[in-house]
Structure 1
Amino acid sequence: MKNDEKITISKSEYISMKEQIAELSKKVDWFMEQVRLAKHHQFGASSEKSQYDQINLFNEAEATADEAKAEPELVEIERHYRKKAKENADRLPPDLPVEVVEHTLPKDKQKCPECGEALHIMGKDVRRELKLIPAKAVIVEHVRYTYACRDCEKNACGVPILKAPVDNPVIKGSFASPEAVAQIMTQKFVMGAPLYRQEQDFRRNGIYLSRQTMSNWLLKCSEDWLEPVYNALREILCTREVLHADETTLQVLHEPEKTAQNKSYMWMYRTSGEEQHPIVLYEYQPDRRAKHPAEFLKGFRGYLHADGYKGYHNLPEGITVVGCWAHARRKWDEALKVLPTKDRENSAALQGKRYCDGLFDIECSLQKLNSNERFQKRQELAKPLIDEFFAWLKSLNPAPKTSLGQAVHYMIKQRRYLERYLLDGRLEISNNRAERSIKPFVIDRKNFLFANTPRGAKASAVIFSIIETAKENGLNPYAYLVYIFKNAPNWDIHNNINALELLLPSNVPESCNSAAR
């Protein structure tokens, strides 16, 4: 056997090689983390719900058994029965019109088969069905009559001419109706049906309505009638003391000085959960710079829930940014998922996640308290746990580029924002309220994919704002839009603030309410 060849190297070269090996080992570990995380994103469940403190179906007996505990005594109780509760039972509104179809015997059959005498009705069976009729189109002709006086025509020098009053149309010179525009808007922004699909559906029913015409209707009605309502809601929003904010990407094809592939942004601002009349507003912007929320929230003074994006941390004095523990918890969840399954139990990632879970458990127990009581309980329960959490973080020294290192670094960097929800009982532990409000836009974005122009993106933001605010206030979006488009052209809302206020969700009639409220 041939002897292995020996190579002599200097001590400095040995140290250098050892450092290179250690560095390469760290890179391999990092790449393996990314592979495991990518596999989880592709094949695993997206839920971040903790599983490690829950009883598994397959080991429930082993986990809960206590052989040392005595058997309980059996106590006989009176047998009783309960009706099974019906959850999510189908139900129909009581005011639906009823179409009665009577099934009778033909006249020549209404004779007794035995004696031939006439039969009489002795009873009836009733079967009810839900009949769905596809939307139908109706042409509405507004015939406006003109009146004149016959006597004045014969005897007077002048003849007075009177015209019957008629409401202004939603778009002058157009055959658009309030109902048609509201239907197209709700189909696009509530049901996620792009205009080209609506065009195809209309065509199948013999109605040739191009998407260009529909686009013109949406833009015109948004700019003329919805923007004033949007601006009024924005003024009200900035008077509130607690708000939430979030943002997501949007592709705009024809944007000045930008390629179609560049990202634009849709920002979202909304009121807190304690508002009687919630407001949800979207704003299109070509980028993610911090000046946009500063301009939108001009005049606002109070607390703003946001994620860890540093743009929110440069807002004007008077706006106190409150961090999101859901984002912090997500870092620990990812750090846990990149570990091999055998290494997860008793890991630092699991411990960090359990600290976060503990804080959320405390919040769940405080939901029914008022803001003052919640503030006091947080000082007693949450604050000590947060102090313990950050003291534990200081004892860790993970590699900065690992998922665990990123989770620790994020927590330490965001500490002053994460702790701020303790300052006021009206504040929330997370910014999930904003994420839930921006989710409808994200879902619809998968259908319409992009906006064509900045003008279209702005109109979409305004329409989405009116619709989502309507939904938050328990209104039927279609009925609310019809109410606006019927009344706004006739109330001079651009010059009469009192008329404009009548269009706000808090002042609309009950006919706009949703049946599901």
Structure 2
Amino acid sequence: MVNTPFNNGNQYEKLIRLLEEQLAYSNLQNKDLSKKLDQSAKQIEALTEQLRHLNKQLFGSKTEKAKYNAPEGQSSLFDDDQSFSEPEPTEEQSQQSISYTVVRKVQKKKRNDSLHDGIEVEAVHHYPKNTTCDCCQGPMIEIGSTVVREEAEFIPARMKKVQHIEHAYECKNCKDDAFQKAQIKRGKAPQAPIQRSIAGPSVLAKVIYDKFAQYLPLYRQVKEWVRYGLNTNDKNLSNWVIRAAHDWLSLIYERMKQLMMVKSVLHIDETYAQIINRSDGKSGQTNAYNWVFRSVPSQGPIITLFHSSLSRARSVLESFVEGFSGTIICDGYSAYDKLKGVTFANCFAHVRRYWLKADSKNGQIGVNYCDDLYRLERQFRHLSPSKRRKERQKYSKPIVDKFLEWVETSPFYGKNALAKAAEYTLNRANGLKAFLYDGRIELDNNPAENAIRPSVVGRKNWIHSVSEAGAKANAICLSIAETAKANNVDFYRYLLKLLTDLPNLDIYQNPEVLNQYMPWSKMIQAECGN
């Protein structure tokens, strides 16, 4: 009998083991391939999501407002319009509707351009060149006049040289008396804001106003000043701003800071800036920072302060808020943490932004939770802090609890936008709940973000500060501009008042006089209020 591989038991077993080993190896390879495919699919999904998000940023709507969904039972504006479902009207019906349209009273459209009531009025009269009748050659008499149009006329600014001359007087009788010294009295000119400088208070106020309210860089102001009749250059203008801010406006700034630090709730945000000549030796291309600090309306007049620094470190924040005790409303930046005597409230606008970026069904659910809270806040806006806290406990707290529970129990994993939104929300859960227990705390940090916009707009125009002194002057001027705006004070008139009065006050002997020059004081409201 011939032996075959299948008749030989040992060879048959070896063949079976070989086949089993090959099958196991194939299974391992399939598992590895399956794992790699899963990883690739997740990576493709994440990249697709990033691509969709970038396309939305480039070509989509820039607003963060949610799309409006009509409430249940409310249809489209056009659903009830019968003209969209009725048949085309006949010729007779068309004529009837046309005659009705002609008879209907047309409302006069309101103009969107007009002059103030107090503007000076100049009447320009136009008479016929010849008032002799062409028929009988007799004289004609006036029978009426008509105002055919009104137009605005701009009178350009003009420069004027003001000479301050001090006059001296002497008593003639005492001068003739050999036994008595003659008395002399001399007129005293007011102190200038900058000694030995041609820049008076009105010029300084105009330069600062144009830069920090109109965002007009100094080098672009030079041609305008030359046109007015003042020959200067951007270096002079820069020095004037720095001197005015350092000598006089900083006094108002420091007083406002003292008042701010005794409050118990603050908004804080920061944005990058650029300073060319840095004292830390770093390149001028390295980011410097502008911090903004803003008080809340429930604690008196609004104060907005800017602070220029070379870094974004926690030490900058610690130094500025030294002595402050209370709650800081901020975004999720790590510097806003672990400050002595300070608790932190986080911003729901940032949370909503993360869920909005997810751009998916679950992302929209997160956005809807935030929108529900904002809807309630609009109803609570005019309540006192104590009443607002009670209403939040009753209506807002269940939504926050449900939102956080949904995020915690939902399977959001990986590095996609949904996972990032969930992680951001859960890491700041305690800070997001802070507004529920204090009616003075806002739902978001938008007041600080809105307050810092002038710094961002200015940065796009004047690009950088040459020196740290210039950056500090910018922060002081922006602080006074934004605080004046928040308290309905005309910034130019306020600057003119400060730069005219402060150099002639005994401020260091009587610092309390500065209270009269705060933007919310009765004197400033009366003289500089809008």
Decide: shared fold, TM above 0.5: yes
Contact in 2 for aligned 1:278/1:469 (Cα 8 Å): yes
Which residue of the other structure, out of 388, 391, 395, is the alignment partner of 1:377? 391
Kindly indicate whether residue 471 of structure 2 is the aligned counterpart of residue 448 of structure 1.
Answer: no
Which residue of the other structure, out of 159, 164, 170, is the alignment partner of 1:142? 164
Structure 2 residue aligned with 1:70: none
- Give distance in 1, aligned partners of 2:213 and 2:56: 31
Q: Tell me how many residue pairs correspond in the alignment.
A: 480
Instruction: Single out whichever of 290-299 and 147-156 deviates more from structure 2.
Output: 147-156
TM-score by length of 1: 0.86
Q: How big is each residue's C-alpha offset from its partner over 1:432-457, in whole Å with a ceiling of 9 and x where there is no partner?
A: 11111111211121111111111110
Aligned residues: CA RMSD = 2.7
Which residue of the other structure, out of 178, 185, 189, is the alignment partner of 2:201? 178
- Give distance in 1, aligned partners of 2:405 and 2:79: 32
- Give distance in 1, aligned partners of 2:355 and 2:339: 28
Which residue of the other structure, out of 500, 503, 509, is the alignment partner of 2:514? 500
Q: How big is each residue's C-alpha offset from its partner over 1:24-63, in whole Å with a ceiling of 9 and x where there is no partner?
A: 33222222222221222122111111116359xxx94899
Name which one, 1 or 2, has greater alpha-carbon Rg.
2
Structure 1 residue aligned with 2:287: 263
Contact in 2 for aligned 1:228/1:494 (Cα 8 Å): no
Structure 2 residue aligned with 1:93: 116
Structure 1 residue aligned with 2:268: 245
Which residue of the other structure, out of 61, 64, 71, is the alignment partner of 1:45? 61
Q: Which residues of structure 1 form unaligned runs of 5+?
A: 1-5, 66-80, 337-343
AA aligned opposite 1:40: K
1:239 offset after TM fit, Å?
1.3
Kindly indicate whether residue 235 of structure 2 is the aligned counterpart of residue 212 of structure 1.
Answer: yes
Structure 1 residue aligned with 2:316: 292
Kindly indicate whether residue 408 of structure 2 is the aligned counterpart of residue 408 of structure 1.
Answer: no
Structure 1 residue aligned with 2:215: 192
AA aligned opposite 1:300: F
Which residue of the other structure, out of 145, 151, 175, is the alignment partner of 1:129? 151
Structure 2 residue aligned with 1:349: 363
1:479 offset after TM fit, Å?
0.2
1:92 offset after TM fit, Å?
2.8
* Identical counterparts, % of pairs: 30
Structure 2 residue aligned with 1:303: 327
Instruction: Single out whichever of 223-232 and 30-39 deviates more from structure 2.
Output: 30-39
Q: Which residues of structure 2 form unaligned runs of 5+?
A: 1-21, 82-103
Structure 1 residue aligned with 2:42: 26
Contact in 1 for aligned 2:157/2:228 (Cα 8 Å): no
3-state SS of the aligned residue for 2:335? Answer: helix
AA aligned opposite 1:299: G
- Give distance in 1, aligned partners of 2:268 and 2:214: 24
TM-score by length of 2: 0.84
Instruction: Single out whichever of 175-184 and 128-137 deviates more from structure 2.
Output: 128-137
Structure 1 residue aligned with 2:86: none
| Distance verdict in 2 for CA 1:382–1:399, change over 3 Å | same
| Distance verdict in 2 for CA 1:511–1:385, change over 3 Å | closer
3-state SS of the aligned residue for 1:412? Answer: helix
- Give distance in 1, aligned partners of 2:162 and 2:77: 70
Q: How big is each residue's C-alpha offset from its partner over 1:233-255, in whole Å with a ceiling of 9 and x where there is no partner?
A: 00101111221111111011111
Which residue of the other structure, out of 405, 413, 427, is the alignment partner of 2:441? 427
Contact in 2 for aligned 1:250/1:263 (Cα 8 Å): yes
Structure 2 residue aligned with 1:322: 345
| Distance verdict in 2 for CA 1:85–1:272, change over 3 Å | farther
1:110 offset after TM fit, Å?
4.3
3-state SS of the aligned residue for 2:223? Answer: helix
Describe how 1:156-167 pairs up with structure 2 within 5 A.
156=178, 158-167=181-190
Structure 2 residue aligned with 1:462: 476
- Give distance in 2, aligned partners of 1:121 and 1:87: 33
